[in-house]
């Protein structure tokens, strides 16, 4: 009886069943075998606890703990530990402002610094630190010169987030830099030639709109986009989608071509295209003005099964935070977090 109740309640057993399905893939066998062994240890430990206690109380306690639905804050912590940028951003912001956590700007600063020391210098952590140093916040005092030095240090490591901020800084006089469009253009060209994706994208912006020291030349922007799309550059794929959708960067407006291109690139594994398609499906309404989001959820789950990181993050954020195409569902979010922690969706 106690074993049956444990099986009904324990999320690990649900994962056990899913693991058996994955066993059909030979490449996944070793990983799943290790995973199943972990589950069996968990089951046997709980059963042994119930026996030694002379009854089922300890066993039922184990089942209750295993099936426990996490709070929104615990879920944010869990997904932040997995590197989800939306969760990292929320945790930093909430620590500083006292949403869901006790207000503690110093803890927000320490969290940023800890991540930076662990070489987590891409994405949201770098953006938060630069913003805090420039404007004050998150436990930092306003210090534009320190922001500039932080950017320069990371540029020397070919960090795309820092390269982006230096181009913006030189182009507009931000982040401790003096405005110097010619220097922005020269630096952008230099970084683009060295293979920086974000520098190539800033060059496209410059050619499209006449920014960062470039003369406006939409046709040259389109040629650069097409060249980079041919190299499967995800940033460029996003620019082409926008160009076709809105009629910019040298493209004629063609929403149908944008939709077809997005679907094609998503099937080829482009994370930008996958994200754009999830958003597009979430904004697709029926004749009566309603949207069940079913197609968006189905597509998201399909992409998760194929290993898409952006689809995982979008689903997690939606279940925890209520963003489309899912609704807030902390129980489903708890299950999804535990599945990722045990690596069920990792290739």
In a domain, 270, yes or no: no
In a domain, 25, yes or no: yes
In this structure, are residues 164 and 127 in contact, taking their beta carbons and an 8 Å threshold? no
> Considering 17, 40, 68, which residue would you say is the last residue of a domain?
68
Both tokens of residue 210?
A: 């006449």
Both tokens of residue 313?
A: 């993050």
Half-sphere exposure of residue 14: CA atoms within 13 angstroms, side-chain side:
13
For residue 115, the 8-state DSSP code is H
* Least confidently predicted of 27-31, 132-136, 188-192: 27-31
In a domain, 172, yes or no: no
In this structure, are residues 101 and 87 in contact, taking their beta carbons and an 8 Å threshold? no
Cα–Cα distance list, 154 to 121, 175, 222 (Å): 8, 14, 30
For residue 122, the 8-state DSSP code is S
Count of Cβ atoms closer than 10 Å to residue 44 Cβ: 10
Q: At what angle do helices 57-66 and 2-9 cross, to 10 degrees?
A: 10
Question: Is the peptide bond between 325 and the residue preceding it cis, with omega within 30 degrees of 0?
Answer: yes
> Considering 68, 91, 111, which residue would you say is the last residue of a domain?
68
SS3 137: strand
Inform me whether the pLDDT recorded for 267 exceeds 80.
yes
Give dist(CA 340, CA 15) in Å, integer: 10
For residue 54, the 8-state DSSP code is T
Cα–Cα distance list, 335 to 13, 34, 43, 65, 344 (Å): 11, 20, 18, 13, 11
Both tokens of residue 124?
A: 């949201």
250 or 43, greater pLDDT:
250
In a domain, 257, yes or no: no
> Considering 40, 68, 96, which residue would you say is the last residue of a domain?
68
134-174 pLDDT, tens digit each: 999 999 999 999 999 999 999 998 999 999 999 999 999 99
Half-sphere exposure of residue 208: CA atoms within 13 angstroms, side-chain side:
21
Instruction: Report the mean per-residue pLDDT for the chain.
Output: 82
**pLDDT tier at 215, thresholds 50, 70, 90:** very high
In a domain, 248, yes or no: no
In a domain, 29, yes or no: yes
In this structure, are residues 133 and 105 in contact, taking their beta carbons and an 8 Å threshold? no
Half-sphere exposure of residue 43: CA atoms within 13 angstroms, side-chain side:
21
In a domain, 334, yes or no: yes
For residue 140, the 8-state DSSP code is B
168-191 pLDDT, tens digit each: 999 999 999 999 999 999 999 999
In this structure, are residues 132 and 113 in contact, taking their beta carbons and an 8 Å threshold? no
82-98 pLDDT, tens digit each: 989 999 999 999 999 99
In this structure, are residues 175 and 144 in contact, taking their beta carbons and an 8 Å threshold? yes
Both tokens of residue 324?
A: 């489309």
How many domains is the chain partitioned into structurally? 2
291-304 pLDDT, tens digit each: 678 999 999 999 99
In this structure, are residues 291 and 270 in contact, taking their beta carbons and an 8 Å threshold? no
In this structure, are residues 104 and 124 in contact, taking their beta carbons and an 8 Å threshold? no
Inform me whether the pLDDT recorded for 11 exceeds 70.
no
Beta-bridged to residue 137, according to DSSP, are 140
In a domain, 184, yes or no: no
**pLDDT tier at 119, thresholds 50, 70, 90:** low
**pLDDT tier at 120, thresholds 50, 70, 90:** low
Both tokens of residue 112?
A: 């940023």
Q: Which domain holds residue 14?
A: 1-68
Look at phi and psi of residue 329 and say left if phi exceeds 0, alpha if psi is from -120 to 50, else beta: beta
């Amino acid at each position: 009886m106690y074993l049956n109740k444990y099986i009904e309640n324990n999320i690990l057993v649900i994962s056990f069943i899913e693991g058996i399905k994955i066993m059909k893939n030979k490449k996944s066998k070793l990983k799943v075998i290790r995973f199943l062994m972990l589950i069996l240890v968990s089951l046997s430990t709980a059963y042994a606890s119930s026996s030694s206690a002379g009854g089922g109380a300890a066993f039922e306690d184990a089942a209750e703990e295993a099936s426990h639905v996490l709070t929104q804050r615990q879920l944010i912590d869990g997904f932040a530990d997995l590197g989800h940028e939306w969760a990292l951003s929320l945790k930093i912001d909430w620590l500083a402002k006292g949403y869901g956590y006790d207000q503690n700007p110093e803890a927000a600063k320490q969290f940023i610094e800890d991540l930076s020391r662990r070489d987590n210098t891409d994405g949201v952590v770098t953006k938060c630190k630069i913003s805090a140093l420039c404007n004050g916040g998150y436990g930092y005092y306003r210090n534009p010169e320190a922001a500039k030095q932080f950017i320069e240090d990371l540029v020397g490591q070919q960090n795309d987030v820092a390269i982006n901020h230096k181009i913006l800084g030189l182009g507009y006089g931000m982040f401790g830099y003096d405005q110097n469009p010619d220097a922005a253009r020269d630096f952008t060209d230099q970084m683009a030639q060295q293979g920086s994706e974000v520098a190539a994208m800033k060059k496209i912006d410059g050619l499209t709109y006449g920014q960062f020291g470039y003369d406006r030349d939409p046709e040259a922007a389109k040629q650069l986009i097409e060249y980079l799309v041919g190299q499967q550059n995800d940033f460029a794929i996003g620019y082409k989608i926008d160009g076709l959708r809105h009629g910019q960067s040298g493209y004629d407006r063609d929403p149908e071509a944008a939709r077809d291109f997005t679907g094609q690139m998503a099937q080829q594994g482009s994370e930008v295209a996958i994200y754009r398609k999830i958003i597009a499906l979430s904004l697709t309404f029926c004749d009566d003005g309603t949207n069940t989001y079913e197609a968006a959820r189905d597509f998201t789950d399909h992409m998760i099964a194929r290993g898409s990181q952006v689809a995982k993050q979008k689903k997690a954020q939606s279940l925890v935070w209520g963003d489309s195409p899912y609704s807030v569902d902390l129980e489903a979010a708890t299950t999804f977090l535990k599945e990722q922690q045990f690596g069920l969706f990792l290739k």
